[in-house]
Amino acid sequence: MCGIVGAVAQRNVVPILMEGLRRLEYRGYDSAGVAIIDRNHCLARTRSVGKVRDLEARLDAQMDGVTGIAHTRWATHGRPATENAHPHVCRKTVALVHNGIIENHEALRKEQLKLGYEFTSETDTEVVVHEIYRRLEETGDLLAAVRAALPALRGAYALGVITNHEPNRLVAARRGSPLVIGIGIGEHFIASDVAALLPVTQRFVFLEEGDIADITRDAVTIYNAQGERVERPVKQSELSSDAVARGEYRHYMLKEIYEQPRAIADTLENRIGLHHVYDEAFGHGAPAIFESVEAVQIVACGTSYHAGLIGKYWLEGLAGIPCSVEVASEFRYRKPQVARHTLFVTLSQSGETADTLAALAHAQELGFAHTLSICNVPESSLVRGSQLTLMTQAGPEIGVASTKAFTTQLVALLLLVAVLGRRRGLGSDGEARIVGLLRTLPGLVEQVLALDADVQAWVPFFANKQHALFLGRGTQYPVAMEGALKLKEISYIHAEAYPAGELKHGPLALVDADMPVVAVAPNNELLEKLQSNLQEVRARGGELFVFADADNGIREETQTHVIVVPPTNDLLAPIIYTVLLQLLAYHVAVSKGADIDQPRNLAKSVTVE
């Protein structure tokens, strides 16, 4: 979602703000803007629809200030337009950037119109800057003005606020949206996440829910939701400033696909012994908690939801533990019956997905026994709010279409299956088998990445198509769902996934020569049934594209294109075949000239409902 950057320094902050915006482009946005307090204590602002480069082209080369804020906007209230872009300004005095949604903006707008405030945008954010200006006139102090204005707001926000009345001050606040403070020497910064600030600092303070921060060049003072002055720990980031660079790759997504062997190896590091998984990798108290677990509830969104569906097969089939999987945006509005000793598991790349966070809060209200987050961002709200955590160690994932975050989530779920299954039907021998297979996984992913050229050869069959069908059975059905999602996300080809056994219950009516049908066919107990389903497609003129295990006997023939995959154990097949589907989606999207890393209408981290 929207990205925020801010700075108070002794040097010109415009280059810092612009670099921060470039590093936040992965979050998804449709407009961008920057506001500074210049050397004459005047408020200067530039905004633009489009990319950060479009904003940069509009900047005055003389724009220079030591305090400033910047923003990338993903439209919620109001269309993508210059007047709706942030920062928003009130009476040339207060400027503000905002991530989140103000639910009572219409009521506030009516009240402010009566008071004579002029509105120049369609956004919910503009009521916030007017409210703060109103309080600034009453108090004469920016911090006091923000503190007085916040109780009037209902909804979620991360805010950065400046005023030319106090040109060396920046006030930040968060409720429901992430915000981090970067600690420098004689300068301080704010951002939506650490990636934006890595060129200027590796020391960060993560604001807690309800915090307000008073930031100057020399000091950071934080107040909690009760208005009490508090100390938040300063954490050293292990990320380097070039960790989010594309390097030799054309797009971040391709880079991240090829980073998967390393990401998987990093996720396993220090989590597995010779024959077992370390319970302690999940956090303090994990062994005792795992002893009591009798069921698992998984909640996630998007790609993470697909990982959860595969995890359900594993938890029930291997560990012998009942498991339910739900989309977070649905779960948070239900009142499910909570089984005794159920472990509530949330999956998220960012740890800031609004619906997943709300589902976690709902689960805690419902009385779930224990909570576990599987996440890629250690300082995220989801991690901080969960009893146990397992970090996926995927590193920064910039492309909106998730790749390495998904496969490392699957690795993390297998680790969970091992520790829970050891205590049930799986036993120590079964756990040792999982550990042994996981050790081979990075090498197997390297092998399938070597099939990249074979995947590219299929691109002409998809480039001019409007629809595609993905088929799989068992654990490969969620893999097919993930493959369809990737294709539609970045190539804009309408793609759907079905269990192959459901073809005759409707989808077969759509099959013709203009709809490519993609199937994932590992060598498992469902292979014969899948082969029968594929014959049904061929008999109706469908063109088949099959990723087939070397040992399963499916070969190239008329209307059937096959990429032979190295023999893969059925347990690891969902990860292996997913990588190939990622490559297919990527290359098809490239052929169509799509914006691979920032597909239209999508955001990396959905931090509002």
Which amino acid makes up residue 515?
Answer: M
- Burial of 500 (C-beta count, 10 Å sphere; 0-12/13-18/19+): buried
* Spatial contact of 393 and 259, defined as CB atoms under 8 Å apart: no
The whole-angstrom separation of Cα 143 and Cα 474 is 57
User: What is the C-alpha separation between 455 and 534, in angstroms, rounded?
Assistant: 20
- Cβ(69)–Cβ(170) below 8 Å: yes
Single out the catalytic residue among 51, 312, 488, 604: 604
- Beta-strand pair 212-215/180-183: unpaired
- The single-letter DSSP state of residue 150 is G
Catalytic choice (2, 90, 323, 375): 2
Q: Which helix (H) or strand (E) holds 409?
A: helix 404-421
User: Please, what's the b/e burial string for 92-110 (b: 16 or more CB within 10 A of its CB; e: otherwise)?
Assistant: ebbbbbbbbbbeebeebbe
Is 2 one of the annotated active-site residues of the chain? yes
- Report the distance separating Cα 295 and Cα 282, nearest Å: 17
- Rounded to 5°, angle at Cα 472 from 466 and 473: 155
Cα-Cα-Cα-Cα dihedral sign, residues 308, 309, 314, 317: positive
Element holding 453 (H helix, E strand) = helix 452-456
Active site residue 51: no
Contacts of residue 609, Cβ cutoff 8 Å, sequence gap at least 6:
101, 156, 329, 354, 355, 358
- Residues serving a catalytic function are 2, 604
